[in-house]
Structure 1
């Protein structure tokens, strides 16, 4: 039922933990596809030596995580593709829970469990010790945009699975440096339905040198004004494109929730720039907040019209800047 796709780039210290968590599933994966994205640290050799024919190991030049995942998508033989990053891992019940969600409604195209963030030293024995007996959980069909506007991790990559044919039809991941997953989720869920389970079965590990660890630091270094939505994020660029207006929305999704999600992404980037006291970038980002469904984003829409000296003196900005410096 599930092909597991694992992109691999220089994760020699984590890949065994990742693969062992897949091999330990109460519902076995149909196939495990590991795509080595030009690793230079011995990751691929470790996989080959330790796991042999238990996995399918594909090689490519260092083309990026999006290309690696796409290679796995086009190689997969089953109906569903479950994603797992090489520095993350699952509890033993993960695929079992995903299968339960998938069997609830054949027309669901994307599913996910809940993900928990751990430090890089966490082990699968720790997770399975806590989750050896799967607790009761709820399955809910959601409007992805409504929920992701509050917490974009509602569908975390390593906790998710998608129908293979839907991913292929949409062309898979696009090769952005950051945000490839969220951009693809937006393209999927504006057209297709989403369901999630409340069970925590996926574990994201921080401080492993992954893309998320460097994304915001990279954003903070940018001082120039934002001139296009693509400079905010790939998902913002897509949702502000002319293509979106021509797409019939998936059942359960409303334009109101889509605009709420869009404004939440723009507001987050604006707030990050305010925390960095990069007022030029904050004001040029906030310009893209949509008037439709402003709700709690109304004040962000006013930021472009506020002098930087007033923004700098605003108590809430001063407190946020101080907090960020102390993190």
Structure 2
């Protein structure tokens, strides 16, 4: 198939594009290669992707409609997978305007492209952060997600409702997937695992927020990619909800649109996660215990029953296994 993937210089986009190209699809990647974090890592990902005959790359910002049009024309996509965004919960406290321009204006441009090319499936990344102040656990797709705690989460929730309107108006089959703390080789340097491993190996202290009592539903990158690949073939159809024991479909009543959690539903306490890193490295961390940061939540916990009902799959890689894979990559990586 012909697939347009935004964000292919990024962590998730790189892994997904690699898998799709290896599966024999034509993948056209699009990315602004911004300096939000070390661009050497982004270029190293793109260099690896460039070795595949099934991958072509276009550099440009989401806000640049002309560049997006050019990338789209390069493949006439049957599927669009929108992963590019200004990421990072904490950075959104420092530079909120970048989230508005990239995540709102940029996503709107891609929605307009989808309206014109009418892909078989329009897929986009959302986040578990949209659940925000929701205290009900585990998080279900049909639960209220109306209390975001950061502008990042607010823009992602906006992306969901924006694409729902286009799915309704223009009958574009659309799936929004909510990611839960994705980690693994080639991960982002601003995320906890990367920062912890780097600091512990260097003998530097690590900042442990919330007293280490926070819990996260970690999702290993290969499991996430497998979930997306399987969801590609399950484009929502209005009036055709998935059924099954204990499953509640998020399919819209007025549009071919649904939202799906991607996670294993096995939260891990932060202190336990740190101990896994210590055991893998054979070295103890110097822990700087700090209070909760603004915008943080105490726990994320996904109900993954809809993902399983749609795809027959659920992420199963344990946090211990994933940490070992990351550490192996980190020790051997020079970008």
| Same fold, judged at TM 0.5 (above) | no
Q: Which has the larger radius of gyration?
A: 1
**TM-score (structure 2 length as normaliser):** 0.29
**TM-score (structure 1 length as normaliser):** 0.30
Question: Relative to total residues, which structure has the larger helix share, 1 or 2?
Answer: 1
